[in-house]
Amino acid sequence: MEAMKRFYKQVSTDTSDAGWVIKLDSRTVRSPAGVLLNLPSSGLAMAVADEWNAQGETINPACMPLFSLVVTVVDRVMTQQMEIINELANYGGNDLLCYRADDDGLAGRQQQHWQPWIDWAGIEFNVNLRIATGIMPVTQPDVSGFEVSLHQLDVWRLGVLHRAVSLGGSLILGLGFVAGRLDAEQLFTTAFLDELWQNEKWGCDFEAKNRQNHIRAELDEAARFLALLPCHHQAKQ
């Protein structure tokens, strides 16, 4: 696909009836689906505007992570909110943290770093999660508390949560991240505990290191996006 050439000179932000918008010269930015982008805070609008302003002669979407997440929320989360909630709720019934290793050393580290989050989820979401050894699926008795919590999130935080869970594989850690109980680096090191353990024992090749750095960068941008949202986080269209 041929790169899109920069077609604007100035980038600005403005208020609208539904929040803040970004303007490229006189044109208001829309999503690929044609939806007007109304952002929930001036801080997020200015940060996304900075990404547009930083583009050179051609527009590189890979250098616009905040804009990418905004588009994901507007074109997918807002239009498929129930599907996203159901997808995330399914992670709760099969959460990464519920599966422990056969290796005593790794299992001990999992117990140290994962069990506190299992305990937190039990209190915070009223779920009683079973722990399994190995990879055989375990049936959880009732994880409806997760779904209740997902319905309480606004679409912006739901989008951040979906990104975090997709990257880390744990709904529990994703919810902790959105709630501000752990930062991007803590999320990464906890979610990828098994892989980092293997790296300590056997080393890490170039390809794996690049993939880990990419995930770290995506989580950092998700944390930045989260920090730019308004404090109110109850469900709101």
The model's pLDDT over 182-228, given as tens digits with 9 standing for 90+, comes to: 999 999 999 999 999 999 888 888 898 999 999 999 999 999 999 99
Secondary structure of the chain: what % helix, strand, coil (to 5)?
55, 10, 30
Nearest one of 233, 229, 235 to 45, comparing CA atoms: 229
Do the bridges between strand 19-24 and strand 99-100 make them parallel or antiparallel, or are there none, so unpaired? unpaired
Q: What is the pLDDT of residues 153-182, one digit of tens each?
A: 999 999 999 999 999 999 999 999 999 999
- Give the 3-state secondary structure of residue 74: helix
Q: What is the pLDDT of residues 40-82, one digit of tens each?
A: 999 999 999 999 999 999 999 999 999 999 999 999 999 999 9
Tell whether the model's pLDDT for residue 131 goes beyond 80: yes
- DSSP-assigned letter for residue 9: S
Q: How sure is the predictor about 2, in pLDDT bands with cuts at 50, 70 and 90? A: low
**Encoding tokens for residue 75?**
């074109």
Spatial separation of the C-alpha atoms in residues 155 and 150, rounded to whole Å: 10
Q: Are 78 and 38 in contact (CB under 8 A)?
A: no
Amino acid letter for position 14: D
Domain ranges in the chain are: 4-64, 81-227
Taking the domain 4-64, which CATH number applies?
3.30.2180.10
Domain 4-64 matches domain 81-227 at the CATH topology level: no
Mean of all residue pLDDT scores within the chain: 93
Please tell me the predicted confidence (pLDDT) of residue 170.
97
Q: How sure is the predictor about 3, in pLDDT bands with cuts at 50, 70 and 90? A: confident
Contacts of 74 (CB under 8 A, 6+ apart): 31, 33, 35, 37
Give the number of other Cβ atoms within 10 Å of residue 213's Cβ.
Answer: 10
pTM above 0.85, yes or no: yes
Q: Are 171 and 85 in contact (CB under 8 A)?
A: no
Q: Which helix (H) or strand (E) holds 24?
A: strand 19-24
**Encoding tokens for residue 107?**
């299992």
Give, in words, the CATH class of 81-227. mainly alpha
Spatial separation of the C-alpha atoms in residues 70 and 183, rounded to whole Å: 20
Please tell me the predicted confidence (pLDDT) of residue 232.
59
